[in-house]
């Protein structure tokens, strides 16, 4: 509330100053001109009013009003200048706190994050502040311009840069990381709205899980939602969850060659031409798009039974969307997901815990391969820095999947631990395959001709283990089961 008040005073104060200056100049100039001065001298004498040294008896009412307005304007300007100096000083003091964070970006886009940061948040005002952490929310030009301008001073600091084009886990030295709102939103959405409970409630038994999820609208947000859906919604090896996508998917379909293996179907026709599919869908995800309110209205006009999850860029009350001309819609049939508000939290942007676990997962694999390697923080960081972006995300998605399915055991209560560990290992292998398929990897019995012992060829995106779990070698199966058992013991 205080931050909003300060913002209002700052904005309105400047407007009033501009208005007062204009009024004083006009009234003063007219007053002096009527008093017999020429136009140039009248303008000059009107300007002198702001210096508060006009002591003559005013020749007319216009000059009298103008001199008082000029005094008020000068004092107000001085107050604003002093306030700006105080705010910059306060920012410098705030930067001395641990976890102080400077945020660059438009007020509208950073407001929820600044509210979360509270006394640790510092808005960038064109002046570098030596904070502990930097989050750059501007466009690519603003963000990279800020970073290049202060690169030396940012060395060793945590720097998070919003981008729509670069992956967040690029290899590199230093504390620079990129983040993408659509990616963070997709992760957060499936954490909040996992299909797990709904899937087990619907199916007579786990192996009979069958679900149809419809996506309307696409773009980068849709792609990320699909990616994390195929990573998170894995509950039984025999399940059949199909994702039906309506929207501008032509480029996506042509650049992702393994959609069938992932259970993804794209349509080149409109959603209303598949009324029966939507009627029987377990969920309909409405991604942010133009005329979204009209689309929701049209969907509910067709059927009040549709279960809509609507991705909105703002947090608003869904009540008005439930009052429909065709009749009132049950409130449980509409979930509004404010994806930007939920994505751009400090926890999601920094992702410290998730990243730490991903590094640990990768290093555990390194320790298993090299028994002589010392288990130290330094070696773990070195191993992480050596990874390319593809492998980093593979580890991150593994940790993400493990977090999502922590409640899965409650749906297999009567199953012996060893049997459940095998199911979990199978699901982890499926997740691993989905990750590779989403990134256009293919199966090859011998990915490296002449080197049969090597099971993958990263340059050609080929892997010998891209087969169902039961077709893996017994050694690989047992290794996966042991890893799944370790997860159950945590």
For residues 67, 72, 75, 80, the Cα torsion angle rounded to the nearest 10 degrees is -140
264 within 8 A of 245, measured Cβ to Cβ: yes
Confidence at residue 453, expressed as pLDDT on a 0 to 100 scale: 76
Question: pLDDT digit string (tens) for 147-175?
Answer: 999 999 998 889 999 987 777 777 665 67
Nearest-angstrom CA–CA distance, 144 and 151: 10
Weakest-pLDDT range from 86-100, 227-241, 400-414: 86-100
69 alpha carbon, distance to own chain's centre: 48
Kindly state the average pLDDT of the residues 200-206. Answer: 95
SS3 409: helix
What residues pair up with 443 in beta bridges, in sequence order?
A: 463
CA 287/CA 69 separation, integer angstroms: 53
Residue with tokens 């005013």: 58
At 8, the pLDDT band (50, 70, 90 cuts) reads: very low
Of the pLDDT bands very low, low, confident and very high (cuts 50, 70, 90), residue 2 is very low
Residue 144 CA to residue 136 CA, distance in Å, equals 9
E strand spans, 233-307 = 240-246, 264-267, 283-286
Half-sphere exposure of 216 (CA within 13 A, CB side): 28
* pLDDT tens figures, 93-106: 777 898 999 999 98
pLDDT tens digits, one per residue of 270-298 = 999 999 999 999 999 999 988 888 888 89
- Give 320's pLDDT tier (boundaries 50, 70, 90): low
User: Quick one: 157 exposed, middle or buried, by C-beta within 10 A (0-12, 13-18, 19+)?
Assistant: middle
C-alpha 291/C-alpha 301 separation (Å) is: 15
DSSP 8-class letter at 57: P
Buried b (16+ CB within 10 A) or exposed e, 283-316: bbbbbbbeebeebbeebbeeeeebbbbbbbeeee
Question: Which is more confident, 137 or 24?
Answer: 137
Out of 1.20.1070, 1.10.287, 1.10.3470, 2.20.200, the CATH code matching 1-90 is 1.10.287
The pair of three-digit structure tokens given for residue 170, joined into one six-digit string: 């690029």
Question: Looking at domain 186-343, which CATH architecture does it have?
Answer: 3-Layer(aba) Sandwich (3.40)
Reported as a single tens digit per residue, the pLDDT across 38-68 is 888 888 777 877 777 666 777 788 777 777 7
Between strands 121-123 and 101-104, the pairing is parallel
Compute the half-sphere exposure of residue 452: CA atoms within 13 Å on the CB side of its CA. 0
Measure Cα distances from 379 to 209, 383, 483 in Å. Answer: 43, 6, 21
For residues 246 and 274, give the distance between their C-alpha atoms in angstroms, rounded to a whole number. 10
């Amino acid at each position: 509330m205080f931050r909003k008040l300060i913002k209002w005073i700052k904005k309105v104060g400047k407007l009033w100053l501009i208005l007062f200056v204009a009024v004083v100049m006009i009234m003063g100039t007219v007053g002096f001109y009527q008093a017999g001065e020429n136009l140039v001298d009248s303008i000059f004498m009107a300007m002198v009013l702001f210096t508060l040294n006009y002591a003559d008896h005013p020749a007319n009412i216009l000059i009298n009003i103008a001199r008082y307005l000029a005094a008020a304007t000068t004092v107000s300007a001085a107050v604003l200048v002093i306030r700006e100096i105080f705010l910059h000083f306060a920012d410098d003091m705030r930067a001395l706190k641990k976890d102080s964070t400077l945020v660059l970006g438009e007020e509208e886009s950073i407001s929820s994050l600044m509210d979360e940061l509270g006394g640790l948040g510092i808005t960038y005002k064109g002046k570098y502040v030596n904070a502990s952490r930097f989050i750059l929310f501007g466009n690519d030009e603003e963000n990279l311009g800020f970073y290049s301008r202060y690169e030396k001073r940012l060395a060793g600091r945590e720097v998070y840069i919003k981008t729509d084009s670069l992956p967040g886990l690029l290899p590199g030295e230093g504390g620079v990381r990129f983040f993408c709102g659509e990616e963070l939103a997709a992760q957060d959405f499936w954490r909040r709205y996992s299909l797990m409970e709904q899937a087990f409630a619907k199916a007579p038994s786990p192996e009979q899980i069958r679900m149809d999820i419809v996506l309307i609208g696409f773009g980068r947000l849709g792609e990320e939602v699909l990616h994390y859906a195929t990573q998170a919604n894995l509950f039984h090896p025999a399940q059949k969850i199909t994702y039906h996508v309506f929207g501008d998917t032509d480029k996506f379909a042509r650049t992702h060659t393994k959609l069938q293996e992932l259970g993804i179907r794209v349509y080149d026709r409109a959603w209303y031409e598949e009324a029966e599919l939507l009627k029987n869908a377990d969920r309909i995800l409405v991604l942010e798009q133009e005329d979204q309110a009209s689309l929701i209205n049209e969907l509910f006009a067709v059927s009040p039974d549709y279960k809509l999850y609507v991705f909105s860029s703002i947090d608003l009350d869904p009540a008005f969307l439930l009052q429909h001309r065709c009749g009132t819609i049950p409130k449980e049939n509409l979930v509004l997901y404010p994806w930007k508000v939920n994505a751009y939290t400090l926890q999601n942007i920094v992702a410290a815990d998730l990243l730490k676990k991903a590094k640990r997962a990768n290093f555990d694999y390194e320790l298993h391969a090299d028994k002589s390697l010392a288990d130290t923080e330094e070696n773990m960081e070195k191993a992480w820095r050596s990874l390319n972006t593809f492998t980093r995300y593979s580890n991150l998605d593994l940790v993400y999947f493990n977090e999502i399915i922590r409640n899965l055991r409650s749906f297999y209560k009567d199953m012996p631990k060893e049997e459940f560990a095998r199911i979990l290992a199978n699901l982890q292998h499926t997740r691993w395959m989905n990750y590779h398929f989403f990134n256009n990897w293919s199966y090859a019995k011998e990915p490296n001709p002449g080197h049969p012992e090597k099971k993958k060829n990263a340059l050609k995106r080929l892997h010998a283990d891209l087969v169902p779990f039961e077709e893996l070698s017994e050694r690989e199966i047992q290794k996966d089961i042991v890893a799944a058992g370790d997860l159950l013991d945590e």
